[in-house]
Amino acid sequence: MVQATSLPRNEAGIAAAVETLQQRFGDQLQTGQAICEQHGHTTTWITNQAPDAVVFPTSADEVSEILQTCAEYGVPVIPFGTGTSLEGHVNAPAGGICIDMMRMDSIIAVHAEDLDVVVQPGVTREQLNTYLRDKGLFFPIDPGANASLGGMAATRASGTNAVRYGTMKDNVLALEAVMADGSVIRTAQRAKKSSAGYDLTRLLVGSEGTLGLITELTLKLQGIPEAIRSARCSFRSVDDACRAVMMTIQYGIPVARIELLDALSVRAANAYSGLDLPETPLLLLEFHGSDAGVVEQSEMFTSIAEEFGGFDAAATSTAEERNKLWQARHDMYWASLQLRPGAKGISTDVCVPISRLAECVGAARDKAESMGLMAPIVGHVGDGNFHALLLIDMDSGIERQKADDYVGWLNDLAISMDGTCTGEHGIGQGKRPYLQKELGETIRYMAAIKAALDPENIMNPGKILEM
């Protein structure tokens, strides 16, 4: 694992806060080593930094009480959802109190006529979609993991559907949040749009728990489309596939998903999911619309794909075939790990302007090969976002160093292409140096906002910013 930097601990304050919270919350607070380590642990490759206690609030008022106690003693608070973040977001580098939000898991109100829903932060996206299904509605953001909606907002998550439906920033109408001083605020009303002052909703989305703790979300919903059609097409090269993507987007075909698997990923999917796809770069697509509309979209895509040498194209509107293909896509993480049993997967997350995508993906693959790294690539290519999953033997110092070098090299490349080091995973601890490279002096103003809203730096310290 990569060593995370520790920050100075306020031992006396932590002891006092834990005691005060223990008296107030009883069994709702846990200090056992296993539970603390579990709450520092995520799918990250960064070493575990456990909190000193984990508290399980059931309401915004309880979160506010916890914040007031922690503010009084100057003790860090770290929010926790499903622990599926990737960059050390839930580590406790200065110790402190982890606030596990998963008991706040109520769906408070569905406003079907307004296409919105009010939820607590511990509701997961699958829980929400299961609840909504018989109402003919769905929440489109799908980062793969069955993450909590509070965590998805906090990291500005997106995933396969973002090309059509946007990211969390586009799908949160309003937030309730507890601020560093314990105040409970609402960022906006429930209207679909507003020009009412600073956009605190968007400021909190992606702030990774460093500015406020989300205790309620009002989310936009979509009607389940009349028809869903999926399609796939193989290509001779990543370059051809990326050009087909670019043309599809330029033509304004409203694809709901357009995903790239490189040849290595297809090999992994064939083996893991019992498929028989040509082991060359593959695009997987999904179209949402009317019965006629999805066929039209799918045919338009196929004719574009043919221009770029696409072959073995297939499309289907039946749920069974579609699910099989998308299940394989969703299982890519596990399928990729099987390419090298025992290895740990370290995911990159660059996002570049789509005109640079083919070049960036090609360079990423060539670099991995030249460094002797196995790194299957999948991408949300309609947005220019892709992940190379480095399969690393974490017991090998040489391999860990290579992985670190590769991540740094790829982030630098993306930034040089006017792209970002993180399309959807966030900064956490791991990407702080790259955020600096990407935005430079701009970070000073982020730090000024952080200092203004959290003067004692108790809100998830050591994340996003070097403070």
Smallest separation, CB 40 to its own copies (Å):
21
Of 90, 207, 188, the C-alpha closest to 446 is: 207
Does 186 interact with its own copies (rule: CB under 8 A)? yes
Footprint on residues 6-45 left by its own copies (CB under 8 A): none
Segment 103-132, which members bind its own copies (CB under 8 A)?
111-116
Contact pick of 286, 383, 407, 460 for its own copies (by CB under 8 A): 383
Inter-residue contact 431 to 87 (CB < 8 Å): yes
Pair 422, 349: CB distance under 8 Å: yes
Q: Which stretch binds its own copies (CB under 8 A): 38-46, 73-81, 161-169, 394-402?
A: 161-169
Exactly one of 108, 321, 448, 466 binds its own copies (CB under 8 A); that residue is 448
CA distance linking residue 39 with residue 43, whole number of Å: 11
Residues 361 and 283: their CA atoms lie apart, in Å, by 14
Asked whether the beta carbons of 19 and 29 are under 8 A apart, the reply is no
Burial class for 104, CB neighbours closer than 10 Å (0-12, 13-18, 19+):
buried
Nearest-10 crossing angle of helices 238-250, 291-307: 140
Contacting range for its own copies; rule: CB under 8 A; set: 126-134, 156-164, 271-279, 303-311:
156-164
Residue 141 CB, nearest distance to its own copies (Å)?
A: 12
Name which of 42 and 385 has its Cβ closer to its own copies. 385
* Contact positions with its own copies (CB under 8 A) in 261-290: 290
Q: How far is the CB of 56 from its own copies (least distance, A)?
A: 26
Of 32-40, 93-101, 200-208, 307-315, the window that binds its own copies (rule: CB under 8 A) is 200-208
CB nearer its own copies, residue 305 or residue 414: 414
Q: Which is nearer to its own copies, 222 or 336 (CB)?
A: 222
Sheet containing 184-186: give its strands across: 107-111, 116-119, 212-220, 172-179, 184-186
Provide the 8-state DSSP code for 309. T
Among 14, 46, 188, 261, binds its own copies (CB under 8 A): 188
Rg over CA atoms, the chain = 22
Cβ proximity to its own copies: between 24 and 190 the closer is 190
State the nearest-atom distance from the C-beta of 214 to its own copies, in Å.
14
Using CB under 8 A as the binding rule, whether residue 451 contacts its own copies is answered as: yes
**Residue 364 is a binding residue for its own copies (CB under 8 A):** no
> How near is the Cβ of 409 to its own copies at its closest, in Å?
17
SS3 of 187, please? coil
Stretch 396-435 residues interacting with its own copies (CB under 8 A): 414-415, 418-427, 431, 435
CA distances (Å), origin 75, targets 34, 72, 154, 371: 21, 8, 20, 43
CA distance 116 to 194: 15
Q: How far is CA 263 from CA 137, 236, 268, 358, 368, in A?
A: 36, 9, 9, 14, 14
Number of residues that bind its own copies (CB under 8 A): 93
CB burial class (10 A; 0-12, 13-18, 19+) of residue 341? Answer: exposed
Strands 282-289 and 227-234: antiparallel
Among residues 32 and 136, whose Cβ is nearest to its own copies? 136
Q: Binder to its own copies among 169, 322, 340, 402 (CB under 8 A)?
A: 169
Q: What is the phi/psi pair of residue 115, to 5°? A: 55, 50
Positions 213 through 232 that interact with its own copies (CB under 8 A): 222-223, 225-226
Written as six digits, the tokens of 133 are 């299904």
Nearest to 454 by CA among 172, 203, 153, 121: 203
Q: Which is nearer to its own copies, 276 or 441 (CB)?
A: 441
Stretches 192-200, 268-276, 317-325, 398-406: which one binds its own copies (CB under 8 A)?
192-200
List 296, 404, 412, 456, residue binding its own copies (CB under 8 A): 296
Q: Which is nearer to its own copies, 4 or 152 (CB)?
A: 152
| Residue 196 near its own copies by CB under 8 A | yes
